[in-house]
């Protein structure tokens, strides 16, 4: 343990300023994604060695144009920087500035400057600046501002040594404010400074501006600030406008002689050309659809081999353990409960990694904001916002980060609709269910030479989810009323080659989070399930062998053994639960074994395949067949045909496409909507849609 | 004479920002660098004519038509 506290450094900057690239370079794989206390904005935290012995904690704050928040997640910036008692208050702030868009980026810097926190200015994208014929003299800027200015190229990782050196320094903070707040509201500022014992005018001024939305303040403090604002006629919006204009005037002053600006910086020629293509009336949508299609085909095609290997690996491992370990309850728990349960988690990794690779490439390259641009008009027809596209596409991975991402939508109605319909989009947890059932009921045939029929079926499932989401959104648009205005105003960044390092880190981080977070639930349920499936009330489990031997005399040992196993499962606790709900699910084409999976996957749908693995491996681990083979071999005793025929399979697909079946999503909706009303409505509505659709499908196709 | 706004520009045309008609929106636009006196250029519109893409302060910004109409130009 070092005796010196670890220095905490916050990164802040405009969206697209290269802040995330810098964060990734500084922290590498040493990142932790958590929540800011009290709110669910993603908090990215990591550690960085500034030199051989100095460790620093780096926090990545959400990208923002100004200290005044435009959306819910941007509020955190002032909540942390404006409150010296905040648990996350940094020792030093790095303002990352896109030097190729210098003036606009400096606005945020001047605001941070006036809060009097030790600050380092990182001038990013100096390579682009040179290309546009500009010249920024960072030494001169440093003299003007009296704070360290370090040129960097975050994408290439250049200039980081100089930056780390600057991050070690101690800086005095008695700076003359750039914006003279005092001259506009002296009395109000003086009384706030006295009551809250503040030294900086700008902190007092910001409290007057933002107290209504601030998280760190008590209710009585908020009222006090409102009273002061009222007493001294503090005109919030007017002052904010004056502040912005004065700040830009100061920026123009102090960059005189620092920047030699060419007439106007035109959008990069590549960007112009690509925009013509990507936002074209017809081609734009075709390209978007093709990209989605490519993603689904890739998930199916590329993930299949590693997934089959993982599946086979785990079943072999399980069988091997069964052979080498002595017989007993613990061995059974290991080979029938824990190992198949673990396999059921690990098997998702290839798909999740591929999915996040694509999402990260779309975001990194700047294409995602073109999708927002392209879709805004259409989305508004459904009561959504162009910005809803990003959460809806992220829902393909997981509804939880997607629902958190809706914080960029500032209109409450649009945000609520996005939250409500996002879980209809097929998330990655449904993917294994789709994969396994499609493989059972759809033949593996090529279509048009290179494409695959199963891939088409998968795409169909996703389209089904999207349709359900949009139809529900349209219904909610009519039901919900609001007077609040909706804005789009959004930067269209220049296109950039994705940074493969960033893509790799996203893949790694998301897979890791999934395995750890979802893994805990899946594993716990796998163990509980094994217990429930291995034990039952009374003596029926113990007497199974006797009962079967009496009922079927003359069977050979192997056949008798399988009868015994079937009888045991049926009379276990799990079997009893499954049987109990059988009357409700028989019209959907399910038996009590599927019923067990429905119950266990109520908490999290990804448990379905794991449950199947456990149910079908109880007593049967001696052979090395995979889950898919076991499900395929399952016979419906009433018909003598395979259990998973087209009607039952299709009905299950539709059920899982629509059912809510995810406690974590319900929990996050509860947090984001601050109440039980919406999550409960969502649960009821989605379950109803799922049940009725599955019923309809089974009755039509059986 | 009626003041012109950004939506009166044709693709490729530029104008000089002279003021804003919407108080709430103007705070946001100012902070994003749309200042009076700045040149603003209409780049292109999305497939259904809305939203549009403009160049201002050295970068590209997308706006809905009802937002663009609040930016007056000379």
Residues of B with CB under 8 A from a CB of A: 23-33, 35, 39, 43-44, 46-48, 50-51, 53, 55, 57-64, 67
Highest mean pLDDT among A103-112, A423-432, A505-514: A103-112
Q: Is residue A320 domain-shared with residue A458, that is, in the same domain?
A: yes
Q: Is residue A336 domain-shared with residue A226, that is, in the same domain?
A: no
Residues in chain B with CB shorter than 8 Å from the CB of A276 are: 44
* Residue at A415 is within a domain: yes
**CB spacing of A491 vs B61 below 8 angstroms:** yes
DSSP conformational letter for B19:
E
The pLDDT, as a whole number, for residue A263 is 47
How many domains, chain B? 1
* Residue at A244 is within a domain: yes
DSSP bridge partners of A9: A58, A92
**CB spacing of A279 vs B53 below 8 angstroms:** yes
The pLDDT, as a whole number, for residue A621 is 44
Residues in chain A with CB shorter than 8 Å from the CB of B64 are: 376, 487-488
The pLDDT, as a whole number, for residue A348 is 73
A417: distance to nearest CA of chain B, Å? 20
Q: For residue B10, give its domain range.
A: 4-73
* Residue at A496 is within a domain: no
Cα separation, A621 vs A64, in Å, equals 55
Q: Is residue A403 domain-shared with residue A532, that is, in the same domain?
A: no
The pLDDT, as a whole number, for residue A40 is 47
A243: distance to nearest CA of chain B, Å? 10
Q: Is residue A456 domain-shared with residue A554, that is, in the same domain?
A: no
User: What is the helix (H) or strand (E) element at residue A557, kind and residue range?
Assistant: helix A557-571
CATH number at residue A163: 3.40.50.300
The pLDDT, as a whole number, for residue A662 is 83
Last residue within a domain, chosen from A447, A479, A511: A479
* Residue at A86 is within a domain: yes
pLDDT band for position A563 (cuts 50, 70, 90): confident
Last residue within a domain, chosen from A479, A513, A533: A479
Q: Is residue A162 domain-shared with residue A192, that is, in the same domain?
A: no
Output the CA angle A493-A499-A501, nearest 5 degrees: 145
Q: For residue A576, give its domain range.
A: 521-701
Predicted TM-score (pTM) of the model is 0.82
* Residue at A198 is within a domain: yes
Render pLDDT for A565-587 as a digit per residue (tens, 0 to 9).
Answer: 778 878 888 889 889 999 999 99
Tell me the mean pLDDT in the region A263-279.
Answer: 76
Q: Is the pLDDT of residue A402 over 90?
A: no
Residue A551, helix vs strand vs coil: helix
* Residue at A418 is within a domain: yes
How many domains, chain A? 4
Interface mutation vs chain A, best among B11, B25, B46, most A CBs within 10 Å: B46
Q: Which residues contact A57 (CB under 8 A, 6 or more apart)?
A: A6, A7, A8, A9, A45, A46, A47
Q: Is residue A74 domain-shared with residue A196, that is, in the same domain?
A: no
Sheet holding B4-5, edge to edge: A490-492, B59-63, B52-56, B39-45, B14-20, B71-73, B4-5
**By mean pLDDT, which of A103-112, A151-160, A413-422, A601-610 is the weakest?**
A601-610
Q: Is the pLDDT of residue A61 over 80?
A: yes
Closest-CA residue to A60 (of A138, A136, A154, A201): A154
CATH number at residue B54: 2.30.30.90
* Higher pLDDT, residue A686 or A592: A686
Mean pLDDT, chain A, as a whole number?
85
Q: What would you report as the CA-atom Rg of chain B, rounded to the nearest whole angstrom?
A: 11
pLDDT band for position A635 (cuts 50, 70, 90): confident
The residue length of chain B stands at: 74
* Residue at A249 is within a domain: yes
Burial class (CB in 10 A: 0-12, 13-18, 19+), A689: buried
Tell me the mean pLDDT in the region A33-50.
Answer: 69
Tell me the mean pLDDT in the region A515-522.
Answer: 72
Q: Is residue A110 domain-shared with residue A245, that is, in the same domain?
A: no
Render pLDDT for A174-205 as a digit per residue (tens, 0 to 9).
Answer: 778 999 999 999 999 999 999 999 989 999 99
DSSP code string of A327-377 = SSHHHHIIIIIIHHHHHHHHTTHHHHHHHHHHHHHHHHHTHHHHHHHHHHH
Q: What is the 3-state secondary structure (H, E, C) of B30-41?
A: HHCCCCCCCEEE
DSSP conformational letter for A261:
-
* Residue at A607 is within a domain: yes
Output the CA torsion sign for A170, A174, A180, A181: positive
**CB spacing of A241 vs B27 below 8 angstroms:** yes
Cβ neighbours, 10 Å, residue B24 = 12
ipTM score: 0.94
Q: Is the pLDDT of residue A227 over 60?
A: yes
**CB spacing of A489 vs B24 below 8 angstroms:** no
pLDDT band for position A599 (cuts 50, 70, 90): confident
Q: Is residue A160 domain-shared with residue A193, that is, in the same domain?
A: no
Output the CA angle B36-B38-B40, nearest 5 degrees: 115
B60: distance to nearest CA of chain A, Å? 5
């Amino acid at each position: 343990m070092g005796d010196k506290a670890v220095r905490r450094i916050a990164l802040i900057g405009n969206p697209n300023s290269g802040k995330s690239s810098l964060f990734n370079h500084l922290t590498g794989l040493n990142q932790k994604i958590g929540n800011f206390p009290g709110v669910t904005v993603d908090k990215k935290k990591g550690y960085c060695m500034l030199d051989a012995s100095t460790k620093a904690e780096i926090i990545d704050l959400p990208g923002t144009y100004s200290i005044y928040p435009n959306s819910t997640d941007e509020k955190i910036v002032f909540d942390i920087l404006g409150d010296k008692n905040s648990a996350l208050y940094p020792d030093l702030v790095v303002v990352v500035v896109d030097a190729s868009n210098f003036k606009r980026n400096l606005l945020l810097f001047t605001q941070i400057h006036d809060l009097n926190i030790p600050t380092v200015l990182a001038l990013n994208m100096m390579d682009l600046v040179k290309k546009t014929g500009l010249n920024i003299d960072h030494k001169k800027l440093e003299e003007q501002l009296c704070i360290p200015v370090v040129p960097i190229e975050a994408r290439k990782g250049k200039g980081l040594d100089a930056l780390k050196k600057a991050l070690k320094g101690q800086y005095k903070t008695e700076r003359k404010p750039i914006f003279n707040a005092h001259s506009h509201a002296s009395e109000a500022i003086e009384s706030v400074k006295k009551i809250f014992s503040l030294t900086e005018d700008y902190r007092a001024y910001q409290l007057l501006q933002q107290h209504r939305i601030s998280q760190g303040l008590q209710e009585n403090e908020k009222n006090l600030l409102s009273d002061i604002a009222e007493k001294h006629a503090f005109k919030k919006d007017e002052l904010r406008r004056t502040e912005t204009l004065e700040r830009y005037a100061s920026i123009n002053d102090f960059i005189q002689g620092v920047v030699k600006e060419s007439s106007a910086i035109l959008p990069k020629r590549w960007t112009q050309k690509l925009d013509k293509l990507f936002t074209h009336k017809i081609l734009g949508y075709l390209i978007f659809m093709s990209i989605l299609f490519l993603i689904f085909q890739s998930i199916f095609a590329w993930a299949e081999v590693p997934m089959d290997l993982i599946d086979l690996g785990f079943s072999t491992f399980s069988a091997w353990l069964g052979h080498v370990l002595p017989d007993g309850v613990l061995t059974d728990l290991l080979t029938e409960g824990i190992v198949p349960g673990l396999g059921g988690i690990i098997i998702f990794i290839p798909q999740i990694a591929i999915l996040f690779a694509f999402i990260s490439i779309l975001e990194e390259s700047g294409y995602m904001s073109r999708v927002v641009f392209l879709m805004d008009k259409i989305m508004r027809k459904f009561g959504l916002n162009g910005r809803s596209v990003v959460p809806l596409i992220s829902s393909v991975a997981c509804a939880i980060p997607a629902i958190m991402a809706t914080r960029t939508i500032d209109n409450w109605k649009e945000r609520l609709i996005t939250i409500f319909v996002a879980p209809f989009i097929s998330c990655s947890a449904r993917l294994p269910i789709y994969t396994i059932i499609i493989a059972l009921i759809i033949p593996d045939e090529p279509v048009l030479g290179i494409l695959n029929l199963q891939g088409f079926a998968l795409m169909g499932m996703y389209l089904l989810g999207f349709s359900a989401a949009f139809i529900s959104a349209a219904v909610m648009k009519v039901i919900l009323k609001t007077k609040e205005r909706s804005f789009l105003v959004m930067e269209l960044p220049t296109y950039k080659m994705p940074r493969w390092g960033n893509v790799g880190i996203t893949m790694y981080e998301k897979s890791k989070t999934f395995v750890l977070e979802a893994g805990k639930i899946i594993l716990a349920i796998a163990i509980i399930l094994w217990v429930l499936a291995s034990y039952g009330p009374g003596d029926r489990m113990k007497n199974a062998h006797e009962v079967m031997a009496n009922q079927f005399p003359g069977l050979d040992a192997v056949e008798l053994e399988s009868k015994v196993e079937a009888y045991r499962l049926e009379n276990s606790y799990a079997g009893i639960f499954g049987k109990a709900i059988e009357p409700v699910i028989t019209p959907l084409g399910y038996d009590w074994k599927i019923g067990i999976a429905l119950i266990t996957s109520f908490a999290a749908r990804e448990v379905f395949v794991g449950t199947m693995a456990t149910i079908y491996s109880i007593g049967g681990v001696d052979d090395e067949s995979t889950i898919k083979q076991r499900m395929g071999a399952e016979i419906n005793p009433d018909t003598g045909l395979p259990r998973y025929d087209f009607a039952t399979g299709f009905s299950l697909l539709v059920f899982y496409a629509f059912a809510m079946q995810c406690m974590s999503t319900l929990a996050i909706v509860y947090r984001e909507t601050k109440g039980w009303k919406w999550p409960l409505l969502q649960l009821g509505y989605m379950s109803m849609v799922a049940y009725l659709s599955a019923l309809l499908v089974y009755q039509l196709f059986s | 004479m009626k003041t012109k706004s950004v939506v009166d520009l044709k693709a490729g045309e530029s104008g000089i920002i002279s003021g804003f008609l919407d108080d709430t929106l103007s705070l946001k636009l100012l902070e994003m660098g749309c200042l009076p006196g700045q040149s603003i250029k209409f780049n292109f519109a999305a497939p259904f004519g809305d939203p549009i893409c403009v160049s201002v302060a050295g970068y590209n910004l997308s706006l809905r038509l009802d937002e663009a109409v609040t930016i007056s130009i000379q």
